[in-house]
Amino acid sequence: MRPTGADAPALGFRDGPVLGIETSCDETSAAVVDETGIRALAIASQDAHAAFGGVVPEIAAREHIRSLDAMVRHAMREAGVGRDEIAGVGVTAGPGLVGALLVGVNWAKAYAFARDLPLLGVHHMEGHLYGTALEHPAARPPFIGLLVSGGHTLLLEARAWGRYRLLGQTRDDAAGEAFDKVARRLGLAYPGGPEIQRAASGGDAARFRLPRPMLTGRDDPGDRSYYDMSFSGLKTAVARIAAEREADGTLEEAVPDLAAGFQEAVVDVLIAKTLRAVEQTGCRRVVLGGGVARNSRLRKSLSERLGSSGELYAPSPRLATDNAAMIAAVARHRLANGERSSWSLNAEAGLAFPGLVQDPA
Ligand code: KG4
Ligand code: ZN
């Protein structure tokens, strides 16, 4: 995201409906959000990737071009908002697939420029942090945020909107990525998260001993490893067992137990790290965001472990997965605070999380 630059449009923001656009990965989405919340949300999930077992960047960009206009028209119609009533435009500027991001960014720039509207480039993961508050008005800072998606795994302390302290992150695979890769290894469909969850429901999580990476119990709160996570070794452990089973023809029978064991290990690590953050900060309010927040085992166990003195805010499935309502929510807030992106706003695959600092205290 570009801060207000020399060529930033000197356009004021009058509070009103904000149009949000999201095209960072394989969901094409448009939404209208105003002070009452979500007026409309349209999402087209691209099925074309399933045959490839993962997102194909070129296909994603092409599908966004094909669907974005229709998603915007759909959202505007559902919101009952005329073009002249839109007060600003927010678009995911990163992180994500650059070709996919470019479709949304260029579309939003053209739309805002043509209508003299203020534009804001939004960080996708900050969007996931705001998404939950659209459904739970109490899910606002201060809170501990656990963002678990296909591309990122972040544990942070939100002190205020726009002021975040990074506690930990994954050192290799994102949690969702591990679900997707393990699913693929077990012969399950893409996206893997829901498939693993389904397979795990009939499985015995204790049958296979799987590691809980980065949970040694010897960690010190001052060490990075206290909050950091790693899922690559766990993924490899599952792959090794799968290979053995495949060799003797017993993989199919073992899939539910392997899925359950893997899911339990990921959930154990995520919960342990989150509870460490709760303990160290004294903040017992936790906000979940990102596609893996749909996982029912994670939601149930985390809620139980937080107990009655804590509060877990989790998004509904529609708002956990990529959507433009969360992008519009960030844009509305930042536009109202006087922020603008310039007309030179660009898509950035590795965009830095705005306001996220690594200070230990
Ligand atoms: O946030 P998201 O929609 O897209 C990214 O920003 O990456 O997250 C997608 C990820 C995928 O890896 C998918 O497998 C995972 O969320 N996911 C789940 C579940 N539903 C979706 N992971 C575990 N359990 C689920 N029920
Ligand atoms: Zn996402």
Domains along the sequence of the chain with CATH: 5-129+321-351 (3.30.420.40), 143-282 (3.30.420.40)
Average pLDDT (311-320) is 97
Work out the mean pLDDT of the chain and round it to a whole number.
Answer: 94
Q: What pLDDT band is residue 11 in, cutting at 50, 70 and 90?
A: low
Q: Residue 2: its pLDDT value, please?
A: 44
Ion ligand 2: residue ranges with CB closer than 5 A:
149, 322
pLDDT(8) > 80: no
Element spanning 121, H or E: strand 119-123
Largest CA distance in the chain: 68
Q: Residue 1: its pLDDT value, please?
A: 47
Average pLDDT (160-185) is 97
CA distance linking residue 167 with residue 157, whole number of Å: 7
Residue 118's alpha-carbon distances to 30, 93, 128, 354, in angstroms, are: 17, 15, 22, 19
Cβ count within 10 A of residue 314: 25
* Atom of ligand 1 lying closest to residue 179 CA: 14
* Atom of ligand 1 lying closest to residue 322 CA: 3
CA distance linking residue 275 with residue 286, whole number of Å: 9
pLDDT(283) > 80: yes
CA distance linking residue 166 with residue 155, whole number of Å: 6
Percent of the chain with pLDDT over 70: 96
CA distance linking residue 63 with residue 23, whole number of Å: 10
Percent of the chain with pLDDT over 90: 88
Average pLDDT (243-256) is 97
Average pLDDT (129-139) is 96
CA distance linking residue 132 with residue 134, whole number of Å: 5
Beta partners for residue 164, in sequence order = 158, 356
Q: Residue 54: its pLDDT value, please?
A: 84
Pairing of strands 163-169, 285-289: unpaired
156 vs 215 pLDDT, higher one = 156
Q: What pLDDT band is residue 95 in, cutting at 50, 70 and 90?
A: very high
Q: What pLDDT band is residue 6 in, cutting at 50, 70 and 90?
A: very low
DSSP for 208-273, written as a single string: S----TT--S---TTSGGGT-B--HHHHHHHHHHHHHHHHTT-HHHHHHHHHHHHHHHHHHHHHHH
Average pLDDT (212-239) is 91
Q: Residue 360: its pLDDT value, please?
A: 57
Average pLDDT (114-127) is 97
Q: Give the Å distance between the CA of 148 and the centre of ligand 1.
A: 8
- pTM of the prediction? 0.94
Average pLDDT (273-293) is 97
Average pLDDT (236-247) is 98
Residue 35 structure tokens: 């002070």
Q: Residue 12: its pLDDT value, please?
A: 75
CA distance linking residue 298 with residue 293, whole number of Å: 7
Q: Give the Å distance between the CA of 289 and the centre of ligand 2.
A: 8
Cβ count within 10 A of residue 7: 10
The Cα angle at residue 32 between residues 30 and 35, in degrees rounded to 5? 150
Average pLDDT (178-207) is 96
What is the signed CA dihedral for 103, 106, 108, 112, rounded to 10 degrees? Answer: -170
Digit-coded pLDDT (tens) for 21-56:
999 999 999 999 999 999 999 999 998 888 888 889
Average pLDDT (248-259) is 97
Q: Residue 271: its pLDDT value, please?
A: 98
* Atom of ligand 1 lying closest to residue 150 CA: 7
Which residues form the pocket of ligand 1, taking CB atoms under 6 Å from any ligand atom?
A: 25, 149-151, 176-177, 179-180, 191-194, 197, 290-292, 294-295, 321-322
